[in-house]
Structure 1
């Protein structure tokens, strides 16, 4: 059976019903019912949801009568025009064509009615779950549309006159979404000024060096908010300390070494077109739509390319609403990128053992042990396994063979040399990814921090441990610090699991409102652009 041929045949049949069925051939209800029936046999669209029965489910309870009046249709079209604020395109919902039909007096005409219904249903679904299949949900039906059924939402909105409320309810409630949406509007306005011509490319500049493009650089930094509008104008053609301070602020927001030196990498970032920054923010909104509905309650979110962690209590007010923010170290981009997933933190281990993954033991430790039989003892490591009555630090040919065969494994004892540091935050998963502290704290000073084997090292383990144990009164800052002091391993279960979201966004807004742009370290922006192009094509 030629499945692609049958799909094309079904699509042609559905299209012919939409385009060729004359309005006078049947009452409006019969025409709408025919359109809904045709949708059932159409091939699935390139979206993360199957909408083929939506028209039938929407119109059947109302006897397939038209749903839209002139007033409600105008309101719906105004809402569709607002899709751009969410990084979506009104053209995807045919808002211009629908408005032209409405202006021609087609309100109440069955094809217009069904087309507007379909557009609004798609818009609500796209706001809720995104336009392409996410890294977090790969199968249909998408579970997120169980709790937010666009058909039910639109029907209730029309009955109660709450179309705008339905659109507001569809967009993610995750706190970052509103901030990024505001940043998108701001950067669109900046891009519209046209004040972003390429800056002159100098050799590396330090404060005090002459620079012919100093005045233009000042304008750029003021435009982007890295220098205050009232900062003194530069008229002497010099790279002044004030300009260097503005560049340092710019570097901090763009994941660059914040040294105030105007070098090749910083100049390249300054010359990125603002239209590209707008696109990065649009991609972030799409990715935030992929996340499940979270809260109220505590959640930990890690943005991998930004090397940032936020711990926040969704729904909290006052001082408790301020998120805890810190730098992190993530998986190395080429060999061991950290996967995207949503886990559940369930327990902590103070002074943990590091059970070395077999890939590291065989790929990195085994060659070292073959050259240096004292390596385990010097690094507080030991061999364990069913063939050993007690852990061993002595390496023999037989133990190396057992390690190679998977009969023994390596672990590192708690202590100052332990790779996990003083605390491990466990969220059981098949990939064995978790959060932990580290004995190599100097690495947090680097601007590029994709340095791990996949797990996530956190800058402020004491504060994070206090956050996740915050609903257990006995765990004060002092008691957490005491548990992290050198001593035996101690496991502490959380009173309730805490969601941990590992996501990817090369544009984000921090807790102070600064817009952050990062490198696309895992090349995921490229993949998302391709997926969206396929969707739109």
Structure 2
């Protein structure tokens, strides 16, 4: 074994079959090579003759600026590859073996980067998201890359790949803006505690100048607006805009929740945007031509069509999701296949055990008042109450259901997309809850604010189901189930940052999924560290 110096790098040489074989060790960029690596006859991808091509320098620049995409340049050995490509372009010409080694290293780094850019860094199942893979076969990143380089369109091709992530462009812009604010003087320390429980119009506050400065930096208050001596005028309007963008009641009152959101630093917001970009890379928002998407932290449903790769929102409405403490709505996607009009509510065993049965023991008349009945194992309906019936329910032999009607917990319509969690969309007899800002009140299923509008979207291509017939079926009081001729994909997603109409909105991490994703990404990064 010989140890030599060449071009400023260590070269390990050893005798193989009577010849001398040397393997570049380019400062951690290139792993020790094998004879097969060095004796390859494949045409280099990143070289023109004996020098790195323009596309090689372009590729290295992409790796160096991976942070602009919310990724980590060090994961792709960007600095070392930049040094190696620069030296190969200006120093002594590399041998064919050395050239092959550098060419392979840059290819591997770009394949890794492109995979992360388009598919994300971690498996969504690690983050409690049971999303299906796209219907079309996954793109062969290696073949895609080689074609783009050989056709000399690497830059436009990568830009097009990155643009396929929904909201990618505004989120990248927002990421740069919030990173630029990290050292802004308005965030050198938290805002001062409130003088009382809350600050209302006309009241004074010692930190009004810094509050004014902070709202200007965030774009909620016009630059140059002087800080008032009291909470009033334009500052109240700016505070309302900030509250609207952060999932708060836009009342212009500076209370504890608003103060807490104001004290979240730009660095923390940038991390929230990075997490959102990661989620969007593996959330299948374009896998079908028509979709119904529920964003859990935002408490919103959007129905849209995908045409020529563009998302066109046709419908949006408020929703109520599962309680954060104990009945969280799971994240997954399935096809909606049925609509049930005037549905029965078959009370899940867990709800019956912990809520309905105790209520009936304390108040037997609750059964009749709520339009409930027992159903035996053989399907017989029993409407009268008896204590032994509750025992049969607890043993699993019987079940309790609620008949169609004005008190039915599912309202007058149910949208069914069969899944292992028994989650579905439905209306509600308590629409007042939609007026709350935070709407996690359900046992896991999702209540929709405008069921007729959603039914019209789902049935828009079925001329047999105009709005009048939909409303009549909902009001009939007779349960009926319609099988959809054209199933519609339903996606239950989780995004705490949303770009809407040129503005950025932040929502609380309702179920702690962002914290879990951040921890998983740190573990992923640690595993990549040499």
Instruction: Check whether TM > 0.5.
Output: yes
Normalised TM-score (structure 1): 0.83
Kindly tell me: are residues 514 and 387 of structure 1, through their superposed partners in 2, closer, same or farther at Cα, counting changes over 3 Å? same
Which of 209, 214, 234 is 2:227 aligned to?
Answer: 234
Q: Which residue in 1 is equivalent to 2:6?
A: none
**In terms of mean alpha carbon deviation, does 82-91 or 275-284 score higher?**
82-91
TM-fit CA distance, 1:268: 1.1
Equivalent residue of 2:283, what SS? coil
Which of 231, 237, 249 is 1:245 aligned to?
Answer: 237
Say if 1:435 and 1:457, in contact at 8 Å, map to a contact too: yes
Which of 470, 476, 482 is 1:492 aligned to?
Answer: 482
1:75 aligns with 2:58: yes
Kindly tell me: are residues 138 and 201 of structure 1, through their superposed partners in 2, closer, same or farther at Cα, counting changes over 3 Å? closer
Count of residues paired in the alignment: 491
Kindly tell me: are residues 388 and 342 of structure 1, through their superposed partners in 2, closer, same or farther at Cα, counting changes over 3 Å? closer
1:133 aligns with 2:116: no
Kindly tell me: are residues 475 and 19 of structure 1, through their superposed partners in 2, closer, same or farther at Cα, counting changes over 3 Å? farther
Relative to its length, the structure with more helix (as a share) is: 1
Say if 1:125 and 1:170, in contact at 8 Å, map to a contact too: no
Say if 2:178 and 2:266, in contact at 8 Å, map to a contact too: yes
Say if 1:387 and 1:407, in contact at 8 Å, map to a contact too: no
1:289-304 to 2 correspondences below 5 Å: 289-292=281-284, 294-295=286-287, 297-304=289-296
Normalised TM-score (structure 2): 0.84
Q: Which residue in 2 is equivalent to 1:11?
A: none
1:219 aligns with 2:213: yes
Kindly tell me: are residues 266 and 138 of structure 1, through their superposed partners in 2, closer, same or farther at Cα, counting changes over 3 Å? closer
1:139-218 to 2 correspondences below 5 Å: 146-171=137-162, 173-191=164-182, 193-197=184-188, 198-202=190-194, 203=196, 204-218=198-212
Deviations 1:360-411 (A, max 9, x none): 111111111111111111111111123563x222111221121111111111
Deviations 1:212-254 (A, max 9, x none): 3323322322322323447x5333x100043223222212221
Q: Give structure 2 stretches of 5+ with no counterpart.
A: 1-8
Deviations 1:294-327 (A, max 9, x none): 2451112212122122211111799x92342222
Q: Which residue in 1 is equivalent to 2:86?
A: 103
Which of 47, 64, 68 is 2:42 aligned to?
Answer: 64
Say if 1:312 and 1:321, in contact at 8 Å, map to a contact too: yes
1:349 aligns with 2:340: yes
Deviations 1:253-287 (A, max 9, x none): 21223322111111111011011001001001101
Q: Which residue in 1 is equivalent to 2:417?
A: 427
**Highest CA radius of gyration, 1 or 2?**
2
**In terms of mean alpha carbon deviation, does 434-443 or 308-317 score higher?**
308-317
How far apart, in 2, do the equivalents of 1:427 and 1:160 lie?
44
- How big is the alpha-carbon RMSD for the aligned residues of Structure 1 and Structure 2? 3.2
Kindly tell me: are residues 172 and 415 of structure 1, through their superposed partners in 2, closer, same or farther at Cα, counting changes over 3 Å? farther
How far apart, in 1, do the equivalents of 2:447 and 2:364 lie?
29
How far apart, in 2, do the equivalents of 1:252 and 1:115 lie?
48
How far apart, in 2, do the equivalents of 1:87 and 1:156 lie?
26
Q: Which residue in 1 is equivalent to 2:5?
A: none
TM-fit CA distance, 1:504: 1.6
1:338 aligns with 2:341: no
How far apart, in 2, do the equivalents of 1:476 and 1:228 lie?
48
Deviations 1:125-147 (A, max 9, x none): 112221112128999xx956942
TM-fit CA distance, 1:118: 0.7
How far apart, in 2, do the equivalents of 1:427 and 1:398 lie?
35
How far apart, in 2, do the equivalents of 1:228 and 1:464 lie?
39
TM-fit CA distance, 1:345: 1.1
How far apart, in 2, do the equivalents of 1:165 and 1:435 lie?
41
1:321 aligns with 2:331: no
**In terms of mean alpha carbon deviation, does 273-282 or 466-475 score higher?**
466-475
1:280 aligns with 2:272: yes
Say if 2:320 and 2:441, in contact at 8 Å, map to a contact too: yes
Which of 65, 72, 78 is 1:89 aligned to?
Answer: 72
1:506 aligns with 2:493: no
Q: Which residue in 2 is equivalent to 1:453?
A: 443
TM-fit CA distance, 1:99: 0.8
TM-fit CA distance, 1:28: 9.5
Kindly tell me: are residues 243 and 474 of structure 1, through their superposed partners in 2, closer, same or farther at Cα, counting changes over 3 Å? farther
Say if 2:127 and 2:517, in contact at 8 Å, map to a contact too: no
Kindly tell me: are residues 534 and 413 of structure 1, through their superposed partners in 2, closer, same or farther at Cα, counting changes over 3 Å? same
Q: Which residue in 1 is equivalent to 2:508?
A: 519
1:406 aligns with 2:428: no
How far apart, in 1, do the equivalents of 2:453 and 2:437 lie?
22
How far apart, in 1, do the equivalents of 2:213 and 2:241 lie?
15
Deviations 1:429-473 (A, max 9, x none): 011011111111111122222211111111222222211112223
Relative to its length, the structure with more strand (as a share) is: 2
Equivalent residue of 1:122, what SS? helix
Kindly tell me: are residues 352 and 514 of structure 1, through their superposed partners in 2, closer, same or farther at Cα, counting changes over 3 Å? farther
Equivalent residue of 2:428, what SS? coil
Kindly tell me: are residues 356 and 19 of structure 1, through their superposed partners in 2, closer, same or farther at Cα, counting changes over 3 Å? farther
How far apart, in 2, do the equivalents of 1:523 and 1:476 lie?
41
